[in-house]
């Protein structure tokens, strides 16, 4: 490490790959905007077992351990400093161990708050304005996020390190905030700068930062036709189920159900998760036909 550790009231922002590359796009843009400098490379080789191999020009490439690269930015006046952790890929195992070690390192650097970025898949239109959902380790921090324009994420799960790190922070008594940008669930495999810009706009208000998001918005406009082209075949499946008289399904819960339906046809573990969610809320009857259709399709 080539920087001293006396960071002033520092916050740590961390991001790993996920849907739409929203977390990585947002965190990378943040680091570039602040001209944050690399200060530490965290080699995860001992915890990182490969789950795939990279091929280039027909040739199998030697496996290389992923790196978590920590960047630092010192506030030019008396404000708080920021650390930004950019990660090449999700660790395939030992996520909790990895997250606990990172929180301990953050504590050693004097970090007072941890924030992660992520995506939330919903049936939104690709050209729509993404909402930003927030979860936190305290009601006070949730109020901060709400004042900055975020919507409270009431019920569900945040998968991968972008979620697990929040739990590790809570375990070790460090304040933590998760911001999730809304994106079309049917385009999860395509990079999406629009929700990344929405997440950064909320974070900038919370952290009192002046960020220029022009480039992200321009890139979002350029990619919008590509995302729209993915939509037509998916949208017929978004019709709401018949609800029982007098019953309305909360919007956040409906969005979570639709996201699970979108992936459950290819991933039986998600189908089991979907069934458990429907049972837990007494909604299996309303969705039963659609759920059974998942298993009537050929494979």
**pLDDT tens digits, 224-283:** 888 877 765 545 444 445 554 445 677 677 777 877 777 776 666 777 888 888 888 888
Handedness of CA 59, 62, 68, 73 (dihedral sign): negative
Main-chain dihedrals φ then ψ at residue 121, nearest 5 degrees: -80, 130
Reported pTM: 0.72
Integer-rounded Cα radius of gyration of the chain: 20
CA atoms within 13 Å, Cβ hemisphere of 136: 17
CATH number of 11-47+62-223: 3.40.50.10900
Below-50 pLDDT ranges, the chain: 1-4, 44-46, 234, 236-240, 244-246, 297-299
Domain ranges of the chain: 11-47+62-223, 239-296
Q: What is the pLDDT of residue 299?
A: 31
Per the document, the length of the chain is 299
Q: What is the pLDDT of residue 294?
A: 66
Compute the distance between CA of residue 260 and CA of residue 164 in angstroms, rounded to an integer. 19
Nearest Cα to 184, choosing from 213, 156, 224, 214? 224
Nearest Cα to 184, choosing from 23, 71, 42, 19? 19
Element spanning 266, H or E: none
230-240 in b/e burial notation, b at 16+ Cβ within 10 A? ebeeeeeeeee
Compute the distance between CA of residue 133 and CA of residue 145 in angstroms, rounded to an integer. 9
């Amino acid at each position: 490490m080539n920087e001293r550790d006396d960071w002033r009231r520092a916050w740590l922002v961390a991001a790993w790959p996920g849907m739409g590359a929203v977390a990585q796009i947002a965190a990378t843009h943040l680091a570039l905007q602040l001209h944050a400098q690399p200060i530490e490379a965290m080699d995860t080789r001992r915890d990182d077992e490969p789950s795939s191999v990279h091929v280039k020009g027909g040739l199998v490439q030697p496996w290389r351990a992923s790196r978590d690269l920590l960047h630092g930015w010192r506030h030019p006046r008396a404000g708080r400093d920021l650390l930004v952790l950019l990660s090449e890929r999700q660790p395939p195992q030992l996520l909790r161990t990895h997250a606990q070690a990172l929180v301990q390192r953050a504590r050693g650097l004097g970090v007072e708050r941890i924030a992660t970025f992520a995506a939330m898949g919903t049936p939104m239109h690709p050209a729509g304005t993404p909402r930003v959902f927030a979860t936190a380790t305290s009601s006070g921090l949730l109020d901060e996020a709400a004042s900055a324009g975020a919507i409270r994420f009431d019920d569900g799960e945040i998968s991968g390190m972008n979620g697990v790190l929040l739990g590790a922070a809570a375990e070790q008594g460090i304040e933590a905030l998760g911001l999730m940008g809304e994106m079309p669930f049917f385009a999860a495999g395509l990079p999406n700068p629009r929700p990344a810009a929405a997440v950064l706009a909320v974070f900038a208000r919370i952290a009192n930062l002046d960020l220029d998001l022009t480039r992200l918005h321009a890139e979002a406009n350029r990619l919008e036709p590509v995302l729209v082209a993915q939509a037509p075949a998916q949208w017929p499946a978004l019709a709401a189920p018949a609800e029982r008289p007098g019953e309305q399904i909360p919007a956040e819960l409906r969005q979570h159900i639709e996201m699970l339906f979108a992936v459950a046809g290819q991933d039986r573990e998600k189908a089991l998760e979907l069934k458990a969610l429907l049972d837990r809320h007494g909604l299996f009857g309303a969705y039963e036909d659609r759920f059974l259709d998942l298993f009537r399709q050929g494979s």
